[in-house]
Each structure stands twice: as C-alpha cells, then as structure tokens.
Structure 1
C-alpha cells in the first residue's frame, strides 16, 4: 500500500544540506514530508515459500491491501548460502514476477557465519579479505542468480545493523575495511549485465558499538539509507527514538544531506509489549518522510498478525493501513483470517548446510581457518540486555 500524501516541504532544506559528509551526533530541525514519493509496504512473514503463501491471508486481514514489497533474508551459515539458495530465492522471485510493481528486498550478509560468535580479530581478517576480492565469486553468483531469475531490480540490504555486535557482518572491528568491502561487493554485483540493484545501508537505531555514520561507505555505492528500529532501548518513548543521538531524526537528516531516500527494512514491537502508540508513531513518521519502503517484522514478539500478544497494536496497524478504512470504533471483525501457528520461517531441513568441519568452504583456500579456528564457542555473541537487537529471521535458517 502507498500511504501518505506527496509534499514538497523539505526540498529547500535538502538542497542546503547537500555535500555534508558527517553530521554531529544530535540534530535539530523539523520533520520533512515526502518528496513526491509514497512508501511501498512490506511484511516479513517467513523467509522461504511460507512467506509468500501467507501473504494473501495477511492482505485479506488488511482489507485486501496489496503488499508490494517482498521481504526475505539469505541464511548466513556458510559462504555457499550467500550465493542464494533455491528454497529461499525461488518462491520470492516467482512472487515478484506475478504482478508488475512488486519489489524484492533481500537481506544479504557480508560474512559467514553471520551469527557464529566470531571474535573481532576474525571479523577484521574476513573484512580485509573481502576488501581484496577473496569473496567476489559469492556476490557475482548471487547477482547473476537474481538477474537471470527476473529480479534484476532487487533492493539489496547488505550487512544490515553493522553498527551493532549481533552479526559477523559488523563494522566496528575495522571500519575502513568494512567500507572497502561494501564498495567491493557493490562494484562486483553492479558489474553483472542487466542488473538494476539498489543498495540499502541499514544500521540499527541509536548509539551502539560504533556510530553508524562512521560505517557509511559513500554516496556512489548507496542508493537508500535505511534503519532497523524496534520498540526497545535506548530511549523509552517514541519521541526518544526520534531525538536520540543517531536516532530517527538524525537518520532522516543524514539521508537528506546525502540526497538519499530512507527505508525501514525492519520495525516492530519488542521489549515494551503491546504498545499501540509506538505503532501509530512509526506509521505517522513513515507517512511524513521520504520513505521508499517499510516492513514490519510479523513474528512474536514484534508483529501484529502472527503474534496474538499484541492485540491493541494490531487494531491500530490495521485501521491505519487497511482498505477500505474501518468504521470508527470497530475492532477487527470475526472474519479475520487466522494467522498460521507460530513456527520457524525455514524448513526443518535446510537445503544448504554448513560444511562439517569449517565455517568457510574450501572455495576460499586463502583463509581456510579464520572463522573456524577463531570461534570461541557455539554461544551466540550477545549485547547487554538493554541493547540486544531482535534476532534476525536469518538466525532460524537451520531451525527444526
């Protein structure tokens, strides 16, 4: 669905900011309206075919609202998985081809294993290797797979939440190498004939392990500046999320300064439970800014359809987006399509499995032991309880 009306307010301010490379940690200024753009809407329901199969019931719940953005993740267990396994890409490529105007937004890790508790030294070594082209074949193969399948205009959400510590594809161990590696991946994928990819730089909201502007790789290799944001610290209110250092207002102003639209590839409820005011705040913010697309993470505890724990937020979400609008005071009726029972968004047996004794397959003999030998344990790297990022759907790639 396209929400919000087109406004010209903010164009003059955008011109005034052009050329700014780094902004201070706190930014003041008014909100800007969309520059002739309305946001395309997506939802994450599952990474594989179950995601596409559930979309019709979700759309029916929203009054036959059409979702135009397909959201999925590549599993990050090993380098072969980053080439684009059939059980993930095939159903989404088919969905995208069924109707004009649909978009595929694909999260792509930069390092494998992406959630393997790699220490900083191992991450830095892999970033450096990637910047030198060691992994070019992986991303060239993925790009060709998408182009050949008819998804040449896919939005690539590359190395998302790089400012945190949850994923191996993080920036803090070596920001210079991270940026060089990003640039290398973009150049490699853009070199595939027929591609029309857009690359989405999507940190998590607020301060984290590193200020996310320090990871920004350059305007020539970024098409969209995204942000993953959930109802969790730092901050307590939606106003806090907007005004905090490296928060949502900073995000909007930074993107405007660089001449880029914004996105919210992941957003949803989290640590504060069923908070309809958060959902309303997000939807109103999206409506009033230059947002290319947004996608709610619809699984517990974040969602509003597959997660029955958030009924009040579900009412707000539905009334804001559904077509036709609900009558005032009318809750979702008894005809609501039932959400499927909660289950892992991946098949019990994933077609792509990690190599038995090493995280990096032997197609990269230059660094055969970096990720395997340096891994301290099988325990997932975690943040402090107040800042832990919601587990990505990609973490369930091998769930039973």
Structure 2
C-alpha cells in the first residue's frame, strides 16, 4: 500500500512539472512522458516575405517560430494602404504578424508631412489598411508604426513632438475604429542607443501604445570597441565585445534605459529586431557569441518584461550581414539558448 502511494505521488509530480515546464503526453500502457516546450518570451524572426524560409529557420532551430516580422513596400500611399502581396503571402500561415508600417510614403515627389498627418489628412489610407488586414485574417497584427523614428534616415523622423504624436494618435484611433480591427496592437519602436536624441519626447501616450519596442544590433563607435585592430586575438576580441555590450546596455538611451521607461509606462518591452552585424566598415562585432549570450540574459530576465523578440536573419548586401548561418560560433550558441 505504501509503495503504491509513493508511485502515485511521483506520477502526480511528473504531471504537475509538465504543466509548468512542458507538455505531458500520455500513451496507452506507458509511463507519462514530458515533452519540453520553449520558455521565455515569444520568438520571432525576419527572413523577408517567405513562409518557407521561416519554416526552415524553425527546423534549424528545433522549435516553432511564434511571430514573424515583415515590412511592406512604401513608395506610395497605395503601397501602404493595399499591400496585397504582403497580406496574401502570410494569410493562414498561423504566425502572429508584426509589420513595419511607414507613416509616410518614400516617393519624394509626394508632398507629405507629419503635420498634415496630425490634422487627419491621411486617415483614409490607414482605414483602408485596417480593412485589408481584417479581410486577410490579420486583425490581430502588431504594427510598428513609424519604426525607428529616432533615426534621421527615415522620412518620418520627427522634429516637432506635437506633429508626430498627433499623427500617431490619428492613425491608431482610425485603425482601431474599423470593425474587426479591435485586436490590432501598436508597438512604439525606437532604435537603441545614443545620447543626444531624446525619443521619449515623442511618446504619444499610454492609451495609444501597446508595447515599447527597441531594435538592438551588435554595433559600436565607442572607443575600445569596433573595429577590431589588426592581429586581434580571441582575448582582444572578447574585451572589445564586452566594451561594446556595455555601451549597448548602459548608454544614455541604451537597453537599461528603455527597460526602465517601458516599466514606468506600464508597457511590455519588445525587441522587434535584434542581431549580430558583420559590417564592411568594421563597426559590427561579426561572429560574437558573447552578444548572443548577453541578449539571452536580458530577454529572459523577468524584470525586463519582454513580450516578444525577433532575430533579424538577413543579408542586407552592401550594408553587411546578420545571418546566424554565416556566423557559426554565434549560431551554435543561439541554438543552445533559444532552440
């Protein structure tokens, strides 16, 4: 009798552990089997507009991808409002979509401005986009509206806070009002780092933001970081990688700052793009397992409240390469930590 009691207690312990750490699979005539499931924030990836590439990435990693990052064409208003190829490609794939959404088209012949957007003059385009998202079964998409607005290269890089925040509120209010679009979410998404441009001046308000997002890459121009000097051995590289990470984390507007800012607003933090960077100018860490380890520590730390994170698995040509498949040491560590 006592032996039966202890066997039952042990079986219950396995089942309870499975509820916390995995999935319990019961087969006729066999002991309960616990299959481990990934823990931590949802995993995403950017691999261009290609479901098959995302599936191959999941096969390589040994786990399913939860979220997919993509960007629509954005030369004209039609590109922004009716990205049919984009929406049709991802329809019924089962991924939670995270879309980079341009605030203004890039065609320089078009006379557009954030100020006009704040007056509601472009609302019809975003209403049309919301209708298209719903029609393609993506009414729960996450929209990175005006992503990385703190970088001067984007047409929606703001100087006037009222224009940017007013326009943001117009877009969010317009899209949320579309029937079936009530589950759309908006990610207020900056690029990490720097010490002069205070992006918080352009925060549109808690009622219009669902996530605070930060894009993070292994790059640095700080003294003692990158480029690696000639004849830099393993110890030399690690020293510079650690210095670069310190800048990534502790710059005035580094990761530590954004984690605290998101917490102060009561919003989850996201990492819609992060990655290694092998750059032609040498200001990236290249194959840097230390960066992957530190990012994993940051992502899985409950204090940072990361809702989702996505690796930028892409070759950007003349600007460099982010692909883990081309950085074998980092790829191995990434699989061990995130697979």
Residue of structure 2 aligned with 1:38, choices 33, 37, 40: 40
Match of 2:200 in 1: 213
1:171 partner SS: coil
Compute the displacement of 1:38 (Å): 3.4
Residues 109-144 of structure 1 show CA distances to partners (whole Å, capped at 9, x for unaligned) of 001117x599xxx7xx61111111111111001101
- Between Structure 1 and Structure 2, the one with more helix by share is 2
Match of 2:305 in 1: 290
Q: Does 1:226 align with 2:213?
A: yes
Q: Does 1:193 align with 2:179?
A: yes
Runs of 4 or more above 6 Å deviation: none
- Between Structure 1 and Structure 2, the one with more strand by share is 2
Please give the residue correspondences for 1:91-240 in structure 2 after superposition, counting only pairs within 5 Å: 91-96=89-94, 102-113=95-106, 126-172=113-159, 174-195=160-181, 196-207=183-194, 210-233=197-220, 235=222, 236=225, 237-240=244-247
Q: Which gives a bigger RCO, structure 1 or 2 (Cα 8 Å, sep 6+)?
A: 1
Once residues 153 and 269 of structure 1 are traced to their aligned partners in structure 2, the CA distance between those partners, rounded to angstroms, is 29
2:92 partner SS: helix
Compute the displacement of 1:313 (Å): 1.0
Please give the residue correspondences for 1:319-338 in structure 2 after superposition, counting only pairs within 5 Å: 319-322=336-339
Compute the displacement of 1:210 (Å): 2.4
Across the two proteins, how many residue pairs are aligned to each other?
A: 269
Match of 1:251 in 2: 258
Match of 2:292 in 1: 279
Unaligned runs of 5+ in 2: 1-19, 22-38, 226-243, 278-283, 316-320
1:279 partner SS: helix
Match of 2:16 in 1: none
Once residues 45 and 195 of structure 2 are traced to their aligned partners in structure 1, the CA distance between those partners, rounded to angstroms, is 26
Once residues 104 and 206 of structure 1 are traced to their aligned partners in structure 2, the CA distance between those partners, rounded to angstroms, is 26
Q: Is the 8 A contact 1:70 1:92 kept in 2?
A: no
Unaligned runs of 5+ in 1: 7-36, 97-101, 323-400
Once residues 127 and 233 of structure 1 are traced to their aligned partners in structure 2, the CA distance between those partners, rounded to angstroms, is 31
Q: Which of the pair has more CA radius of gyration?
A: 2
Alignment root-mean-square deviation, CA: 2.1
Compute the displacement of 1:258 (Å): 0.5
1:227 partner SS: strand
Q: TM-score normalised to the size of structure 2?
A: 0.75
Compute the displacement of 1:208 (Å): 6.5
Once residues 284 and 208 of structure 1 are traced to their aligned partners in structure 2, the CA distance between those partners, rounded to angstroms, is 24
Q: TM-score normalised to the size of structure 1?
A: 0.64
Q: Is the 8 A contact 2:143 2:187 kept in 1?
A: yes
